[in-house]
Amino acid sequence: MENDNSVRIALGQILVEGGEPDRNLERAEKAIEDGANAGAQIVLLPECLDLGWTHPSALNEAESIPGPRTERLIDKARQCGVYLCAGLTEKFENRVFNSAILSAPDGSLLHVYRKINVLDVAQQYYSIGRNLSVIETPLGNIGVNICADNYADSLELGHTLGRMGAQIILSPSSWTVDYSTTNDNQDYLEKWVKPYHTLAQLYDMVIVSVTSVGVIVGGPFEGKKMVGCSVVVGSEGVVFRDKYNEFSGSLGVVDIEVPAEHSMGTDIGKMLKEKGYVNSYL
């Protein structure tokens, strides 16, 4: 660690097999363990890592949070003494949410976030979340959102986390590309890096996004796959990019400088104006 403001984050870019929660959780536990062994203080894992994003099993195999899967992951994170942020499919009453948990090294569940910007075709599985939060931790103020929450046309969600004081955004993701995409064609990355960089510059934040690897084997996105390339983006641009892979996970370990707390309240408007931000609708 370079100084007190530095945090080591492990990006658990794991293989996620649709509809196979036990196999997926086994890989998630290993990533937590490997991350801790690499000295990470935070381990970030992908979106819907239990059942796979938009896998039809979401409708009948989702579990409550907290629940057995949450406990299994948090227990491992507690044993390893790390913060954990992981995407899980949440059953709540008669609805299912695409959720993310944030737990502390002592095993306490600090936050459950439910994805807001759910894709139209994914709404047959997931209901819309209604809350955003930023959690104060000794490592900094952590905001959580999920994958498409950071689309260029829904950047208000990231803006809101910035306005709530987030210094780090952890974003479990499941970026999908067409089956025909290969290693030599990664234009899709720009779709993610651009909005991350916009937010990071405006609010002087670090955005960490971990996606999974694997073929989508059920649901409306059959014919697509996840190919990794998880990223860490700061105000200066991409700090780290993990490997391209279609079938095998990896663990990226990155030391990030946690930016100082930025302006709050109406001062943010001034800060944004100084940085040239224009709300084009007004």
Partner 1 sequence: MCVRCIIDDTVPGANFDKDGVCAYCHLHDEMDNLYPLTVEGACREAILIEKIKRAGKGSKYDCVIGISGGRDSTYLLLLAVQKGLRPLAVHFNDGFGNPIAGENMTKATEKLGVELLTVTSDWRESKDLKIACLKASIPNANMSTDIGLAAALFGSAAKHNIKYILIGQSFRTEGIAPLPWNYLDGKHLKAIHNQFGTSKLRPWTANDPGFNLGSKELFYYIVRRRIRTIPLLYYHDYVRSDVDEIIVNELGWTNPGAHYFDDLYQALLQHLQRIKFNMDRRKFNYSALIRTGQMHREDALSDVDSIYALEDPKIINLCIKRLGLTREDFDVILAASPKTFRDYPSGYDRLVKLRLVIKVLVSLNLVPQSTYLKYYKYAC
Task: Pick from 180, 266, 279, 280 the residue near partner 1 by CB under 8 A.
Answer: 180
- Indicate the helix (H) or strand (E) that contains 191: helix 189-203
Contact between 216 and partner 1 by CB under 8 A: the answer reads yes
Determine the size of the site formed for partner 1 (CB under 8 A): 25
What type of residue is 118? Answer: V
Nearest to 51 by CA among 17, 100, 13, 28: 17
Question: What's the closest the beta carbon of residue 32 comes to partner 1, in angstroms?
Answer: 17
Question: What's the closest the beta carbon of residue 57 comes to partner 1, in angstroms?
Answer: 8
Q: Which of residues 36-55 bind partner 1 (CB under 8 A)?
A: none
Cβ distance 88 to 65 under 8 Å?
yes
Task: Pick from 38, 179, 261, 264 the residue near partner 1 by CB under 8 A.
Answer: 179
Question: What's the closest the beta carbon of residue 260 comes to partner 1, in angstroms?
Answer: 38
Q: Which of residues 83-102 bind partner 1 (CB under 8 A)?
A: none
Q: Could you tell me which residues come within 8 angstroms of residue 190 by beta carbon, excluding any fewer than 6 positions away? A: none
Report the C-alpha gap between 236 and 200 in whole angstroms. Answer: 8
Q: Is residue 147 flagged as an active site residue?
A: yes
**Quick one: 70 or 250, whose CB is closer to partner 1?**
250
Q: Does residue 118 come out as left (phi exceeding 0), alpha (psi in the -120 to 50 range) or beta?
A: beta
Cβ distance 32 to 82 under 8 Å?
yes
Q: What is the dihedral of CA 25, 28, 29, 35, to 10 degrees?
A: 180
Contact between 123 and partner 1 by CB under 8 A: the answer reads no
Question: What's the closest the beta carbon of residue 246 comes to partner 1, in angstroms?
Answer: 5
Task: Pick from 7, 10, 27, 88 the residue near partner 1 by CB under 8 A.
Answer: 27
Q: Which of residues 243-262 bind partner 1 (CB under 8 A)?
A: 245-250
Q: Which of helix, strand or coil describes residue 3?
A: coil
Report the C-alpha gap between 38 and 231 in whole angstroms. Answer: 18
Task: Pick from 9, 15, 102, 210 the residue near partner 1 by CB under 8 A.
Answer: 15
**Quick one: 107 or 220, whose CB is closer to partner 1?**
220
Cβ neighbours, 10 Å, residue 22:
10
Q: Is residue 48 flagged as an active site residue?
A: no
| Both tokens assigned to 167 | 């210094």
Q: Which residues are near partner 1 by CB under 8 A?
A: 15, 17-20, 23, 27, 56, 179-180, 182-183, 215-218, 222-223, 225, 245-250
| Active site members | 47, 115, 147
